[in-house]
Structure 1
Amino acid sequence: MYYGYKESIDDSVMKYLPELKETIWEATTIRHLLTHTHGLNQKEEVVFREYPPGQNWTYRQVGIDALTQIVKKTTSRTVSDIIQEQVFRPLGFSESNWYAHKHEKHADVILRHEEDGNWKTSESTEGDKMNMYVSARELAYWGYLHLKQGKVDGKQVVSKEIIKLATSLQSPLTLHEDLPQNGFLWFVKDLPAKQSEIGAEVPKGSYQILGYTGVTLLVIPQENLVAVRMFNSFGSPEGYDYLSDVRSFGDTVMNCLQRISIDV
C-alpha cells in the first residue's frame, strides 16, 4: 500500500521499527499514529504509555517521530525529500520548506515567556521537527491540492486515492464518538463529536489541519472553499480556550458565506 512501502495502516509499528520496546509499543499500529490515538508520551528520552491504543485521543510528538522514522526506514528517504520532489517542485512552491537556521524572512515565533522550554527548534531538515515554514499563499494552495483531490492544472500531482484516504475518517472504531476524528493527521468532520476541533457550523466532509503556532488550514468541499489563518504565537496564555478558538475559525467562515448569500 502507498507505493508498495507499507502493506496496511493497520500494520504494527514494530513491524517497521522492531528496535522499539515491545512492552510499550505492542498493539500500536500506524493507524493509531496517524489518528493521534496511540496513547504514548515521552519525557526526555523515555517513552511511556498513558492509555491503551485506540482508547483515547491526545496529540503527542512521539507519534509524529515514529511516523517519520517509518517513512525513512521504508523508503530510505526523509519526509522533506519526498514532499519536495513529489509536491513542492511540481507545484512550484518556493515559500515552504524546513530550515536548519533562522532566516531574515522568517517571522519570529512569539513565546509565552522568553525561555519557553516547550518550544525547541532543531537543525534537522528531515520533516520531523518544529522548523517548517510556509506562507499563507502556499498553505492555501496545499489545501487547494486536497480540495481538487490531488489534481492541479490538469496534472495528477498526488494520487486521488491517497488524498481520499488522508481526508476521510480513519480513527479506530474503538474511539469514543465525542473525541476528535482524524484522517491521516487531518481533522475530519464526520459524526457529531463534542471535542471536535472543527466548528459546529462547518458541514460534514470538511477537513482541517493545524500548525504549532496556531496556523489553521480548513477545506470545505461542499462550498468549494479553502480558508487559512496565520499565527506566529506558540503556547496558550492564561484563560485562553484553545478548542473554542479553533472552532470559531470555521464557524466564522461559514457565517461569512451565509452573509454573502443573503447580500447577493
Structure 2
Amino acid sequence: MNKLLLKDDDSNLFEDVYTHVKESAGKLGSSGTALFIIHHDKIVTESYFGKQSNAKHARDVKADTQFHIASVRKSYIGYAAAYAIHNGYFSIDDPIRRFVEDSNSPAYEGVTIRHLLTHTHGLLIADGKLVSEYKPGESWAYRGPSIELLTTIIKKTTGKSVADIVKEQVFDPVDFQSTEWLKMSQPHSKIANTIRDKDNIFWTETDVVDGSGMNMYVSAKDLALWGYLHLTEGKWGGKQIIPREIIQMATSIQTPDPSLPIHKNGFLWFVKDKNHTFNQIGDIVPKGSYQLLGYTNVALLIIPEENVVAVRMFNRYGSTEGYDYLKDIRSFGDTVYKCSIKEVERNNGR
C-alpha cells in the first residue's frame, strides 16, 4: 500500500455515494457489492456488503473478494498499448495491415492503431466475416474485433502478452495481490460468483490468461489503486514507477476527429469532453475526467480536477428489466463529484 494513502476518519461526506451504490445493487439483483474511494491521497470510503453468491453459506464480500470486471479490463489493454508505443514497437497511426496475417482484407482499408483504441475503426463481424461498417474515423461503435486485434498486435510486436506487460511493469512493483486473469475452470474461494441470465449471449468462459480474454477478476482495492496510479500519472510512494507519458497518452482524448458528436476515447478509456445524451460520465463531472464501465456494472471513475478515484463493484452480469444503466452510471459519477466538492468545502472551512 502506498504510504501516501491514509485512512480518513471522517468519510461520511461520501455517504451519498454509498447509498447510491447500495440502491443500485438492489435494482440489479447483485448478491454482493464493494465501494472504494480515494480522495486527495486518502482512502475516504472502503465498504463491502452482501455475499459472493446467492448460495446458502456463501462467503461474505471482503477486501480480498475479486469481481469479474468485464470491459474495465480494457484499461489494462490500453496501458499495454501505450507502453508499446512509448517504447517504439509501433506508432499510434500505423495502419494495422502491417501487423495482420490477412492484410489483403478490404475491411482493413484505412484502419490504424488509433482507430482500434478509440472504437472508430468501423470493423464488424457479420455472418462470420469481418466487414467495414463505416469509413474509419467517421463514426463510433463499440465492437469486439478491435480488442482481439490490439492484443494480437501488442504480443506480435513486443514479444509479450498484455498480461506479461502489466505484471512486469505494474503488478509486481506495486505488489497487487488480488488482480488476475482467471482460468474459469479453476475458480477459488475469493472469486465472487457472477450472477447472470442463463440465456445471456455475451457471457464467455475461457482459460486463456494472456490478457486477451473477458476473464479478469480484481478486488475493489486493487482496482482503485490501479486508478490511483493513473491519477498520479505513474507515481507510487513518491517515485515515478511508470513513465508519465504512458499515462497521459492513455487517458487523453485520442479520437481522430474530436469535433464529431461521438464518444471521446483515450486508449479505450471514455474521456469526458462535452455533455451528450449518450455519455456514460455524469453531466456535472468535469471535462478531462475518464472512466470505464463493465457489463457487470463495475465502474472505475477518475476525476483529476478533484483528485478522486471511485470504484464500484457488483457481481451482476447484464441487468434486470427496466434498469437504466446510462442514467445510473451518470448519476453515480455526479454523486461522487458532488461529495468530493463537499469535502473541499469542509476542508476550506476548517
TM-score by length of 2: 0.70
1:125 matched to 2:223: no
Aligned residue runs from structure 1 range 7-86, under 5 A:
8-43=91-126, 45-86=128-169
Per-residue CA deviations over 1:205-263 (Å, capped at 9, x if unaligned) read 21112223111111111111111111121123332222222111111112223444566
Q: 1:108 aligns with which of 188, 193, 216?
A: 193
**Bigger proportion of residues as strand:** 2
1:234 matched to 2:306: no
> How far apart are residue 29 of structure 1 and its match?
0.8
Identity of counterpart residues, as a percentage? 50
Q: Check 1:174–1:223 CA distance in 2 against 1; reply closer, same or farther (3 A cut).
A: closer
Q: Check 1:3–1:171 CA distance in 2 against 1; reply closer, same or farther (3 A cut).
A: same
Q: Check 1:41–1:237 CA distance in 2 against 1; reply closer, same or farther (3 A cut).
A: farther
Whole-angstrom distance in 2 between the partners of 1:205 and 1:96: 27
Q: Check 1:150–1:162 CA distance in 2 against 1; reply closer, same or farther (3 A cut).
A: same
SS, match of residue 143 in structure 1:
helix
Per-residue CA deviations over 1:122-160 (Å, capped at 9, x if unaligned) read 110011111001000010001100010001112222110
Q: Which residue of 2 aligns with 1:2?
A: 86
SS, match of residue 167 in structure 2:
helix
> How far apart are residue 197 of structure 1 and its match?
1.5
Whole-angstrom distance in 2 between the partners of 1:144 and 1:76: 28
The one-letter code sitting in structure 1 at the alignment partner of 2:165 is I
Q: Check 1:158–1:65 CA distance in 2 against 1; reply closer, same or farther (3 A cut).
A: same
User: In the alignment, is the contact (CA less than 8 A) between 1:55 and 1:174 conserved in 2?
Assistant: no
1:181 matched to 2:272: no
SS, match of residue 300 in structure 2:
strand
> How far apart are residue 193 of structure 1 and its match?
3.5
Q: Which residue of 2 aligns with 1:157?
A: 241
Q: Check 1:150–1:88 CA distance in 2 against 1; reply closer, same or farther (3 A cut).
A: same
The one-letter code sitting in structure 2 at the alignment partner of 1:148 is T
Structure number with larger C-alpha Rg? 2
Q: Which residue of 1 aligns with 2:178?
A: 95
Instruction: Please say which of residues 76-85 and 166-175 is displaced more in the overlay.
Output: 166-175
Runs of 5+ unmatched residues, structure 1: none
User: In the alignment, is the contact (CA less than 8 A) between 1:180 and 1:197 conserved in 2?
Assistant: no
TM-score by length of 1: 0.92
SS, match of residue 133 in structure 1:
strand
User: In the alignment, is the contact (CA less than 8 A) between 2:270 and 2:292 conserved in 1?
Assistant: yes
**Comparing both chains, which one has the higher relative contact order based on Cα–Cα distances under 8 Å and sequence gaps of 6 or more?**
2
Whole-angstrom distance in 1 between the partners of 2:317 and 2:129: 24
> How far apart are residue 44 of structure 1 and its match?
7.2
1:225 matched to 2:301: no
Q: 1:214 aligns with which of 275, 292, 297?
A: 297
User: In the alignment, is the contact (CA less than 8 A) between 2:120 and 2:136 conserved in 1?
Assistant: yes
> How far apart are residue 43 of structure 1 and its match?
4.9
Whole-angstrom distance in 2 between the partners of 1:143 and 1:212: 19
Whole-angstrom distance in 2 between the partners of 1:143 and 1:200: 21
SS, match of residue 200 in structure 2:
coil
Runs of 5+ unmatched residues, structure 2: 1-84
SS, match of residue 228 in structure 1:
strand
User: In the alignment, is the contact (CA less than 8 A) between 1:139 and 1:228 conserved in 2?
Assistant: yes
How many residues get paired?
A: 261
Whole-angstrom distance in 1 between the partners of 2:239 and 2:132: 44
Whole-angstrom distance in 2 between the partners of 1:21 and 1:104: 47
Superposed CA RMSD = 1.8
Q: Check 1:19–1:175 CA distance in 2 against 1; reply closer, same or farther (3 A cut).
A: farther
Whole-angstrom distance in 2 between the partners of 1:74 and 1:193: 37
